[in-house]
Structure 1
Amino acid sequence: MPPHYHGLSKALRRREISCAAVQHRLPSPTPLSTTPNSPFRYIPQPNLTQNSCHYFKTSLNNFSSKNFNFNFFTPFGFQTLQFSTLSNKERKIEQEKTSWVDLYLPKKVLPYAHLALLDKPIGTWLLAWPCFWSITLAANPGSLPDLKTMVLFGTGAFLLRGAGCTINDLLDRDIDTKVLRTSSRPVACGALTPFQGLCFLGFQLLLGLGILLQLNTFSQVLGALSLILVFSYPLMKRLTFWPQAFLGLTFNWGALLGWSAIRGSLDPAVVFPLYLSGVCWTLVYDTIYAHQDKEDDLKVGVKSTALRFGDLTKHWVTGFGIACISSLAFSGYNASIGWPYYLFLAGASSQLAWQILTVDLACRSDCNKKFVSNKWFGALIFCGILSGRLIS
C-alpha cells in the first residue's frame, strides 16, 4: 500500500483528519462525470493491479469526525468500506437512537411514521391514561372495565395523538426549522410536503371518525368538540405563556369522554375533578418537557410555562402536583372507590414528587427522562382505580 494511505489510516484512528485533509492526501481527482455540483469525486488508480479497485470513489457528504464511508468500484461490483472511530459506549448510544421505525418500516412509509411520532409512544400513553382512568371509574362496583371500550379508546388515543402531531408540525414548520431538536421533522426538513401532510392528516381523522361513531350519541358530540382544542392548541404558543394549560385541556378530554361512553352522561362530582387532575398533571410534565427548548423558544419568539415560571418552575409545578393529587382523591371519594385506590395514589404521589425534586431543568436529557417517566404515574393511578373499583 502506498505510504500516503498508511498515513491516512493512522490519522483516522487518531481522529485528527478533516474532509479537507482527506482531499489533500489523496491523489488529485479527475471527475468522470460533468454533472454540476456532484457530491462525488472519482479518482483513477493507474498503479493498481487488475484484481484491485478500478476506481476509488469518496462521497464528501459521508465524512464526519466519527464515521467514514469509502465507496469504490471493483471488477465484482460496487463496494463500501466503513470506518468508525466511535468508542463502544458511543456506538451503543448511536444504536439506541435508531428506533424500530427505522429498522422495520418501508422507506416510503418512514416520513409518515416520523410525522406521527410512532417511534415515541409516550404521547399515546399520556393521552390514553385519562381515558382508561375514566372508563374504569365508571365501571360497576366489583366489575372489570369494559374491554371493548378500552380497546376503542386505546386505538383512538393512538390515532388522535398522531393527528395532533401532524397538525402541530404543519402549523409549526417555519418554527421547527429554527430549532435544533425539531429541524429534522418530516415537514420541516422537506421529506414531506405540506400537501402530503394534509392528506395524511385527513387519513388519520377518517380512521378516528370510525372509532367515534361506535360510541353513543352523547359521546360522539362530546368527542367532536375536542377537535376544537386539537386544532387550536398549536397556535397557543404564539399567543400565551400558558400553552401547556391548553395541552392539558386537550390531552385529558378522555377523562370526560370515557365516563360518558359507559354511562351515557356526565357526573360532574366525579369527572370534573378527574379532568382537573389531568390538566394539572399535564402542567407538571409538559412544563418540565418545555425546559428542553427554552433557549430556542426565546430565539424564535414562542412562549411556554418554562419561560413564564423561569427559576420558580419547581415551586409552580409543586403546586400543580398537589392540585393533581388532591383532585384525584376528591374524584375517587365522590365515586365511592375502595381503599386500595388511596395506597396507589400515595405511590403515584411519590413518583410525582421524585420527578419534581430530582429533575435538572438545565439538562435536556434529564428533562426528557422525567417527562417519559409519567407513563408510570398514569399506570399507578390506573391500577389504583382498578383495584379500588373491584373491592368497592
Structure 2
Amino acid sequence: MPVSLVSLTDLAALDFDEILDVRSPAEYAEDHIPGAISLPVLSNEERARVGTIYTRQSPFLARKIGAAIVARNAAMHIETALADKPKGYRPLVYCWRGGQRSGAFALILSQIGWRAETIEGGWRSYRRLVQEALYGSPWPAPVVLLDGNTGTAKTEILGLLRAAGGQVLDLEGLANHRGSLFGAMPGGQPAQKGFETALAMARAALDPLRPVVIEAESSRIGHLNLPRGLWEAMKAAPRLELSVPLAARAAYLARRYRDVTDDPARLLATIDGLAPQHPRARIEAWRALAAEGAFEALAAGLMADHYDPRYGRQRARFEDRPTRRVTLDGLDPGALASSLPGLMAEIDALARL
C-alpha cells in the first residue's frame, strides 16, 4: 500500500533503507525529497519521446514503448546501483505523481523479494506539503535579524552562533549565494523549488519556543525569492546591528571573496555590471585597483560608494523596529570568538522584547 505523507517530518519516522527518485534527471535536479537517490527509469530524452508519442500518436503505443524502456533501465539499476543490496532491503520509491514509473519499478523490486513501497501522490504530494508550510502557514518561531553593512562577517557569525547552540537559519547557505553581485558560489544556485524544499525542511526543524537568528537580506537572494510569510516575519523582527570599521571590513572581504579575486575576468565583468549605477571614472578606478591586485582598497571603495549607501537606504525603512547595536573592532577568528558571548546576550535581550 502506498505511503501517505501528511507532514514534512513523516519521512524521518518511516522505516525505509533508502528513498529512490525514479523521475528523469531534469526533474530530480529541479527538486527532490531530501536524501533521495536518483535512479531514473526514463532519461530526459526518453521521457520527452514517450510524452510526444502519447499526445501525438497513441497512449497505448506510448505505454508499450515506455514499459520497455523502464524495464531496461530498471535492469541496469538492479545490476549496478542496487547490486549489493541485501535480502531485507526496503526502499521507498516515488515518481512525479505516484503513478506508472514508481509503480512499475517498485513492482520489479518487490518481485526480487525486496520490500519496496511507493509514496501516494509521488513528488507532487510532497511538494504540496512544502507549499503549505511556506505559503499557507505562519512563520513558526520568533525572528531576530542579524544586520550590518557588507563585510561585517554576518554569515560567519551565524555559524559561530549555531556551534554555540543558537537557533540559526542560514538563508545564503540554502541559496548557495552570498547575496550580492559578487556573491555567486561554485555549483550555482538551486532551482526555486529546490530552495523551497530545503527551506521548508529547515523550518520544520525549528523550535517554536526559541528565537531563530537570520541574516538581514532582501526578499531575493541571487535569483531566488523568499516566501512572503518569511519575508514579512523578517521585516517585523527586532535587529542586532553590527558596526565594524571600514578597514577591518575591507580586509575581511578580501579574504572571503578570494574565489572572485583569483578570477580576474570574473572580477572585471562584475565591476562592469555596476556601470549603469556609477560614473565612468569610478568604474575605471575600481578596474585599476582590481588590475593592481589592491583588493582591500577595491573592497573599501565598493563599500563606501556602492554597498553602504544602499544598505543605509534599506535600513531606514525599518527604523521603527527594536534595534541594538554592537561595535566590533576586528573580524579575525579570535576577535569573532571573543565577541560571541556578548552577541548572544544581545540576541536574548531582543528576543524578550
TM-score of the two chains, using structure 2 as the length reference: 0.27
Greater relative contact order, per chain length (Cα 8 Å cut-off, separation 6+): 2
| TM-score, with length taken from structure 1 | 0.25
Structure having the larger proportion of residues in strand: 2
More helix by share: 1
